[in-house]
Amino acid sequence: MDPEVSLREQVRAVLAEALPRGTFDPGLGMVGPVDPEFSAALAEHGWIGMAVPTRYGGRDATAVDRFVVVEELLRWGAPVGHHWIADRQIAPVLLRFGTEEQKMRLLPPICRAELCFCIGMSEPDAGSDLASVRTRAIAVDGGWRVTGTKVWTSNAMSADFMITLCRTGDGARHHGLSRLLIDMRSPGLTITPIRFLDGSTDHFAQVVLDEVFVPTNMVIGEIGSGWAQNTSELAFERSGPDRWISSFLLVEEFMRAEPALAASRDGSRWIGEVVAQYWVLRRLSLAVARSIDAGQEPAAQAALIKEMGTRFEQDVVNTLREMLDRELLCDVSRDRPPPLFERLLRRAVLHSPSYTIRGGTTEVMRSVAAKGLA
């Protein structure tokens, strides 16, 4: 059997045994719940930090192998929140820019799912325009003192470290930016939850840094190289299955919960269109994973996939709502929760507006793709 197909079968078998359908509340894509125990169980199989060399605790696998695992996890709605950022972004960043000491210290616990990370890029006046970040790090004895405010920081409450873009020098906007790994338990760091559309307060936060000390050995790469580093990792962040698969489970559950509607003329035509679009996006996304394995940096292609994939994810949610043509059940009683499809659709209605914002907005993706592919 083809090794990629065989890996997919293994992941499916493990998920079916560890998380049988009906025994857990599935998540929608990468916003899966935070479950350190589940992440640790995945790590036992070698499925976290897969592309990390064995000497740092990984499996020396490829970006395509990771694609295979991630696609299955997200399709299943698995609770990936604990290890998501570490696996997708931090491990590749450390491999590329980290010092030997950082690799030896941080990569093995990442591969064992012992560390959770969050991303501190956005600020109140710097979202799309990241070159405007104002969080400032000032050199002091043995390290840096960081002061500023980060906002929309996903999973700040459960993270051990935040990869933080900050200003370490003056001059042109894109210069003088650096990235530091900040311990979330540092004195001077305050996390304040931000209420999400669905009322939850455990996902989002504002992180205020008041002269937080960061030792020199937690600077990633050269001081002043933050902008270039950031740009180079976009292919990892924007092109994976997480950017087009968030509504997959919803379509699957729609077919289970509403078989007559799904088999109707309009329903079956729509399902055909959805499957065709999934296939196209999957092929594009896989092509980016293969070019990452070939040592390329397909940032423009990744932006295009994010633009197409997240719009598609939203279209699925909107069309399902229109097809149902009724109000969603709002009974939140614990004794009689609404059926899974209804719960997923309710959640998707509240979460899907964010798909085209998080990780870079649609307008910005179009701009990156147009400039990069011109």
Ligand X SMILES: Cc1cc2nc3c(=O)[nH]c(=O)nc-3n(C[C@H](O)[C@H](O)[C@H](O)COP(=O)(O)OP(=O)(O)OC[C@H]3O[C@@H](n4cnc5c(N)ncnc54)[C@H](O)[C@@H]3O)c2cc1C
Q: Which is nearer to ligand X, 301 or 354 (CB)?
A: 354
Q: Determine the residue with CB nearest ligand X.
A: 127
Q: How far is the CB of 119 from ligand X (least distance, A)?
A: 4
For ligand X, the closer of residues 29 and 58 by Cβ is: 29
209 lines the binding site for ligand X (CB under 6 A): no
The verdict on 364 binding ligand X (CB under 6 A) reads yes
Q: Which stretch binds ligand X (CB under 6 A): 32-40, 168-176, 330-338, 356-364?
A: 356-364
Query: Near ligand X by CB under 6 A, which window of 148-156, 179-187, 237-245, 317-325?
Result: 148-156
Q: Does residue 367 bind ligand X (CB under 6 A)?
A: yes
The interface with ligand X within residues 70-99 (CB under 6 A) comprises none
Q: Does 161 bind ligand X (CB under 6 A)?
A: no
Q: Report if residue 153 touches ligand X, rule: CB under 6 A.
A: yes
Considering beta carbons, is residue 232 or 367 the nearer one to ligand X? 367
152 binds ligand X (CB under 6 A): yes
Determine which residue in the list 135, 154, 178, 352 makes contact with ligand X, applying CB under 6 A: 154
In the block, tokens 């991303």 appear at 119
Least gap, CB of 286 to ligand X (angstroms): 25
By CB under 6 A, is residue 193 in contact with ligand X? no
The set of residues, in sequence order, having a beta carbon less than 8 Å from that of 164 and lying 6+ positions away, is 120, 135, 146, 150, 179, 180, 181, 182, 209
Smallest distance, ligand X to C-beta of residue 92, A: 17
361 lies in the site for ligand X, by CB under 6 A: yes
Counting contacts by CB under 6 A, is residue 310 touching ligand X? Answer: no
357 binds ligand X (CB under 6 A): yes
Which of 51, 119, 157, 219 forms a contact with ligand X (CB under 6 A)?
119
Binder among 363, 370, 371, 373 for ligand X (CB under 6 A): 363
Q: Which stretch binds ligand X (CB under 6 A): 59-67, 126-134, 218-226, 307-315?
A: 126-134
- By CB under 6 A, tell whether 121 contacts ligand X: yes
Q: Tell whether the torsion through CA atoms of 63, 66, 250 and 269 is positive or negative.
A: positive
Is 319 among the residues that bind ligand X (CB under 6 A)? no
Q: Which residues bind ligand X (CB under 6 A)?
A: 118-122, 127-129, 152-154, 354, 357-358, 360-361, 363-364, 367
